[in-house]
Structure 1
Amino acid sequence: MPTTTRPFDMAEQLRDEQDIAAYLTLVLEEGDPGELAHALGVIARARGMTQIAAEAGMGREALYKALRADASPRFETILKVMHALGLRLSVQPAA
């Protein structure tokens, strides 16, 4: 009997705020803007894209487009989405 598998979906692993914070911290440490946009999209899907789009003051389609891995969203968009997700950025010394 063949083994049945499903594609991995990170959104299914983000069960609480600690999971989300850990995931986003790892992505930010990589320093890839496209991966940040993608990660915010994954988190938004985990929380409900329609709700996050409404809270960010954006249309759902526009949010999907802004948070693709190959997108370069404006910093204002990143901040709106972070706020809608209940997240905030903080700064620490690199050393």
Structure 2
Amino acid sequence: MATLSDFDAADYLDSPEMIAAYLRTAFEENDAALIRTALNDVARAKGMTAMAAESKITRQALYKALGPNGNMTLETLLNVLRAMGVRLSISG
């Protein structure tokens, strides 16, 4: 019998284009929990320690902000996105 491993999106976020497409799709859904999960996936793919240093947010605060009950500020969101190498853009 075959053993299946759990799917982890972070394992597939290995290029700037893939990260941008993944985050774009999450933001298009307008679902805070989905966006938070996507940001968490990208942060894990890039490495939480590196993300914390790049975003100038403590590692503990980053885990809390991107966790299931996280509710980050706009400033934290922008710092995290900048550390991920993406920009927030609005279109109508």
TM score, norm. by length of structure 2: 0.93
- 1:69 CA displacement: 3.1
Return the alpha-carbon distance in structure 2 between the equivalents of residues 37 and 78 of structure 1: 10
For structure 1, which runs of at least 5 residues remain unmatched after alignment?
A: none
Q: Report what 2:55 is aligned to.
A: 56
- Residue correspondence of structure 1 range 17-56 to structure 2 within 5 A: 17-56=16-55
For structure 2, which runs of at least 5 residues remain unmatched after alignment?
A: none
- 1:41 CA displacement: 1.1
- 1:26 CA displacement: 0.7
How many residue pairs are counted as aligned between the two chains?
92
The one-letter code of the counterpart of 2:16 is: E
Q: CA RMSD in A?
A: 1.0
- Which of 1 and 2 has greater Rg? 1
TM score, norm. by length of structure 1: 0.91
Return the alpha-carbon distance in structure 2 between the equivalents of residues 67 and 52 of structure 1: 12
Write out the 4+ residue segments of structure 1 that deviate beyond 3 Å after TM superposition: none
